[in-house]
Structure 1
Amino acid sequence: MSRFMSTLVTSADANTGASARGITTGEPEQPRRRTWGEIHAEALTIAGALRAPEEGAGVEPGAAVAILAADPALIAPTVQAVWLAGGSVTMLHQPTPRTDLEHWAQDTIRVLRMIDARLVLLGSPFEQLADVLARHAIPHRELPGLASMAEPLTEPVDVAEDAAALLQLTSGSSAEPKAVRITHGNLYSNMRAMVTRAELDPDTDVLVSWLPLFHDMGMVGCLTVPMAIGLESVKVTPADFLARPLLWPELISHYGGTVTAAPNFAYAIVGKRMARADDGAFDLSSLRFALNGAEPIDPQAVRTFTDAGARFGMRSECVVCAFGMAEVTLAVSFAPLNRGIELDTVDAAELEKRRRAKPVDAESAHARRFAVLGRALPGLEIEVVDDSGNTLGHREVGKLRVRGDAVTPGYLTVDGPLPAQDAAGWLDTGDEGYLADGRVVICGRRKDVIIMGGRNIYPVDIERSACEVDGVRAGNAAAVRQDPGSRRERFAVVLESGVAGDEMAEKALGKEVAARVVDAVGVRPSAVVVVEPGSLPKTPSGKLKRAATAELVHE
């Protein structure tokens, strides 16, 4: 049995009592708490059904099993059941009320064929998609009642360290599906490293999360880790959060949450809403670890959150900035605990023209500020190299790459397997950045960097300046390259605003945004495009899809 499975089973056995650690789901309407031991017992029964050929499932060791469900109460035992049965888990991207189901089915069929899925397990609220899957001859079972159809598995199926545990669908801008192959060894290594660096204590910590379980931060960080170490957890859905963002601090207050995690945009949204809340509405004094990752970190958004939270007893030091990616299971680096956000302020000209991060005074008019993302987690190495692969030194900007036990061996693609590491074990992260005293600083995605007049201009600087203009939805502006790689490379800004459709208001907003961008980076955008709220193309995890966004710019 893999080390990860042994940890999972041992923790479940230790958490069988009524007061033992567990997971609460169903908030805010119908909260229900179960111990991890109870989750394990249910998982054994589901695994028995999955392994029983007479029940129509017959999952064999090594088989890929896809799950399409939103209810964490169903997902938690089902994920564990697939592992107990010796299979790998793929969380399918979920259709929304606006999704064209036939297009979704076509995309899903490509994914299922790519991972060679043997079975799709359907749960609430997606049971109605059974007919869609049936029309395309996709084997599937509905989760409600599956646990009652067979005898519990007597013992977990033995799996090797290099066996696949997760096939994590990537959420990049490409139309071609791709799955990151995470092994049991990868999962165990990164899990232990995160527990160590975050100083997670199953006896005292309480995790509160709304993150989607089809994304690596939600699946690995906010379900798998708590389930494996017996961490008390409260789990709601992204739909719950989006319907009422203040549910998040309400749950932290009610359950004494000590640990949480979210992308930058969520901290911005909740910070603004908490600022308008009544005194005494929340008690956030218990929060000690609020991870900010999965997208570029905006210092202003963090300050909005911590300033608003201070009125409710929250310490600004609780915010922990992080660097992570699915290819490294989840986490690459964490900033130190109890420091809050730390910024590195560097000379803009040195950065853009000479590719050096030269420190300058925080009040300098020609400065760029980046969040410091800490040192590599135990078991991982990070280095910066130039285009020829030569290792760069302190504060020299180049390609970031990582290697270690948590790094995936490769991808599954529609054209077959694809290795992720080079001959020396290094994974190219696709990010551009530098190391400052061994601590990671990311400037941006290499493919998104705008090159004009010999300068490397980072989209995040443009986007943050655009979002400072009244009328632009926070976190909903995108800078996109035009004519990339040519001598006339340019960029446009696409932003969401409530004034979309009002020609005069759009024109006025565009002028103000363009002026603000010029002040920030010294270059004027070729166009400012205003679209309705909710129009910017995003991945299932909420990241901007820049290639698709560029199509909204009409010459």
Structure 2
Amino acid sequence: MSRFVETLVASARRNSGEGARGLITGEPAEPLFRSWAQVHDNALRMAGGLGEQLRPGAAVAILAADPGLIGPAVQAVWLGGGSVTMLHQPTPRTDLAHWAEDTLKVLKMIGARLVLLGPPFEQLAGVLEDNGIAYRDLAGLAATEAEPLPGPVEVGEDDTALLQLTSGSTADPKAVRITHRNLNANLRAMVTAAELDPERDVAVSWLPLFHDMGMVGCLTVPMAIGMTTVKITPSDFLAGPLVWPQLISKYRATVTAAPNFAYAVVGRRMARADEDFDLSSLRFTLNGAEPIDPAAAQAFTDAGARFGLTPDCMVCAFGMAEATLAVSFAPLRRGLGADVVDAEGLEKRHVAEPVDAEEPRARRFALLGHPLPGLEVDVVDDEGEELADRQVGRLRIRGEAVTPGYLTVDGPQEVQDADGWLDTGDEGYLAEGQVVICGRRKDVIIMGGRNIYPVDIERAACEVPGVRPGNAAAVRLEAGSRRERFAVVLESKQAGSEDAEKALRKEVVSRIVDAVGVRPAEVVVLPPGTLPKTPSGKLRRAATADLVPHR
């Protein structure tokens, strides 16, 4: 068996009987604990119940919300030698016809002939039946009394373990192929960098399991090393964001992770909360998966201070599905680190020159740490020549955790060059060896010979009262032309009121001009819940640009 599967089996053997660690689900209503040994036994039964539908090399898709069903299901697939694909989940706002069209395209692309369907998505069985896709009821499979699989089947290190769907904005789907070797390398690197100790650490997570940070970081890693993890669903979090600190308090959690927007939301809620949380146990609070706003991260730790949260627990990170999950972690026990640089040098000369934080045109970026063990990061120019420290260019990664390629609708696609480097698509630099990301290269706005990063515009817009935090997008217009412009599309409860919108636009323009020295060609105000986003909550800039009126 692969080294990754060996870790799953070893974790199960260590965690049976008194003092066993495992998976806690059902919070906040009906908490249920299952040891990793019980999860493993359930997985063997589920694998046995799948019979000939699960065989080495089989691509199995899963559409379910309950982590208590998903946990043993993914392990069952791995024990049976198959690969797992977590399908993107429709929401109440999703057009089911479009979702079905996209999902069928995904299933064809990955060659899946089986879908494990769990609550609350059973009503989609008809869509699968109409299109000849076999499915199994996941809840029924979990209750099966079938003969268990005798043991893990043999798989190679370079066999596929996970097909992680990307969150791109294009119409055609793409899946990152993660091998057993990739998973083993990255999980061990994360354990080392985060100093995870399964006997001491407890994780709490609400992240979706169709996203790499939720699936790999907050389920697979605890399952593999035998660390207790408390898993709730994203809908539980969205229904009441303070459930997150409540569970951290209840279980004395030491580890958690989320994208920046969640820290911003919970930081504001905690600042005015009357509840008596106890966050003193947290030592590793990972912030990643989207651009990090140092001010929002600082606001979270400040709000948590009265509940015992230590400011040095925040760990900013750089990750991507193409690296399995994690590329770099900021140093532990140092708290939020930021690099303050001169805006003119960054935009015109592509050099990150340190300046005093009080400088009027200073730019502040989160320091994302050094590469994890087994990974390399470098920065190159457009000709592929390596750049020196603090020179801005294209970020590349290389190492054992890096995917060999994608599955696309047009077939497999390799992503590494002859020397093993993968172009991340990000623009950034190294600051004394720490990774700093300025933005996605395809989103950079070029005006008057300056490189202007959307994140700076969006932060300025979100400072305006009335703009929903984290819900502003700066998009390029006439990209690549001699007269490139940009627009800002934002959400506000003031949408629909002509006078309120006019005042809001005026203030947004003023803040943006103060921040970056250029004016948006247009400010579009939309009602809440309108901005196009990926299934994992990231802004879809290409789709957002389509909402800007042509003038």
Corresponding residue for 1:117? 112
Deviation at 1:132, TM superposition (A): 1.4
Q: What are the within-5 Å matches in structure 2 for residues 320-331 of structure 1? A: 320-331=315-326
Corresponding residue for 1:87? 82
Deviation at 1:437, TM superposition (A): 1.0
Q: String of CA shifts for 1:185-225, please: whole Å, max 9, x gaps.
A: 00000000000000000001000000000000000000000
Please say if 1:164 is aligned against 2:160. yes
Please say if 1:259 is aligned against 2:290. no
Please say if 1:468 is aligned against 2:491. no
Paired amino acid for 2:351: R
Q: String of CA shifts for 1:53-107, please: whole Å, max 9, x gaps.
A: 3xxxx22201100000000000000000000010000000001122222221111
- Asked if the contact 1:12/1:36 (under 8 Å) is kept, the reply is yes
Paired amino acid for 1:156: P
Q: String of CA shifts for 1:358-388, please: whole Å, max 9, x gaps.
A: 1111111121110000000000000000000
Please say if 1:420 is aligned against 2:445. no
Deviation at 1:505, TM superposition (A): 0.6
- Asked if the contact 1:114/1:413 (under 8 Å) is kept, the reply is yes
1 CA distance for matches of 2:478 and 2:235? 38
Corresponding residue for 1:450? 445
Corresponding residue for 1:184? 180
2 CA distance for matches of 1:415 and 1:499? 44
1 CA distance for matches of 2:154 and 2:288? 34
Paired amino acid for 2:516: V
Paired amino acid for 2:9: V
Please say if 1:540 is aligned against 2:535. yes
Paired amino acid for 2:29: E
2 CA distance for matches of 1:194 and 1:484? 38
Q: What are the within-5 Å matches in structure 2 for residues 121-520 of structure 1? A: 121-147=116-142, 148-278=144-274, 281-520=276-515
1 CA distance for matches of 2:149 and 2:3? 19
1 CA distance for matches of 2:522 and 2:321? 34
Q: String of CA shifts for 1:229-264, please: whole Å, max 9, x gaps.
A: 000111000000000000000000000010000000
Look up the SS of the partner of 2:17 in the other structure.
coil
Paired amino acid for 1:170: T
Paired amino acid for 2:2: S
Q: String of CA shifts for 1:424-468, please: whole Å, max 9, x gaps.
A: 100000000001111100000000000000000000000000000
Q: String of CA shifts for 1:390-414, please: whole Å, max 9, x gaps.
A: 0000100000000000000000000
Please say if 1:16 is aligned against 2:16. yes
2 CA distance for matches of 1:551 and 1:32? 46
Deviation at 1:325, TM superposition (A): 0.1
1 CA distance for matches of 2:17 and 2:119? 28
Deviation at 1:326, TM superposition (A): 0.2
Look up the SS of the partner of 1:388 in the other structure.
coil
Q: String of CA shifts for 1:306-351, please: whole Å, max 9, x gaps.
A: 1110010001110000000000000000000011111101111010
1 CA distance for matches of 2:217 and 2:62? 18
Q: String of CA shifts for 1:143-170, please: whole Å, max 9, x gaps.
A: 1222415200111011000000000000
Paired amino acid for 1:230: G
Listed as ranges, the gaps of 5+ residues in structure 2 are none
1 CA distance for matches of 2:141 and 2:206? 26
Look up the SS of the partner of 2:178 in the other structure.
strand
Aligned residues: 549
2 CA distance for matches of 1:146 and 1:297? 41
**What's the TM-score once normalised by structure 1's chain length?**
0.98
2 CA distance for matches of 1:453 and 1:101? 44
- Asked if the contact 1:18/1:35 (under 8 Å) is kept, the reply is no
2 CA distance for matches of 1:42 and 1:155? 12
**What's the TM-score once normalised by structure 2's chain length?**
0.99
Look up the SS of the partner of 1:175 in the other structure.
coil
Paired amino acid for 1:121: L
2 CA distance for matches of 1:32 and 1:146? 19
1 CA distance for matches of 2:431 and 2:82? 42
Corresponding residue for 2:69? 74
Q: String of CA shifts for 1:121-141, please: whole Å, max 9, x gaps.
A: 001111111111111111111
Paired amino acid for 2:257: A
- Asked if the contact 1:59/1:118 (under 8 Å) is kept, the reply is no
2 CA distance for matches of 1:456 and 1:288? 37
Paired amino acid for 1:274: M
Paired amino acid for 1:2: S
Paired amino acid for 1:3: R
Paired amino acid for 1:275: A
Deviation at 1:177, TM superposition (A): 0.1
2 CA distance for matches of 1:60 and 1:391? 45
Paired amino acid for 1:287: L
2 CA distance for matches of 1:112 and 1:372? 38
Q: String of CA shifts for 1:461-518, please: whole Å, max 9, x gaps.
A: 0000000000000111000000000011000000000000111111110010001000
Paired amino acid for 2:353: K
2 CA distance for matches of 1:258 and 1:172? 32
Listed as ranges, the gaps of 5+ residues in structure 1 are none
Hey, which bits of structure 1, 4+ residues long, moved more than 4 A?
none
Paired amino acid for 2:297: V
Paired amino acid for 2:33: R
2 CA distance for matches of 1:265 and 1:18? 39
What's the % identity of the aligned pairs?
73
2 CA distance for matches of 1:283 and 1:59? 45
2 CA distance for matches of 1:174 and 1:390? 30
Look up the SS of the partner of 1:117 in the other structure.
coil
Paired amino acid for 1:270: V
Paired amino acid for 1:25: T
- Asked if the contact 1:4/1:184 (under 8 Å) is kept, the reply is yes
Q: String of CA shifts for 1:263-287, please: whole Å, max 9, x gaps.
A: 0000000000000112x52000000
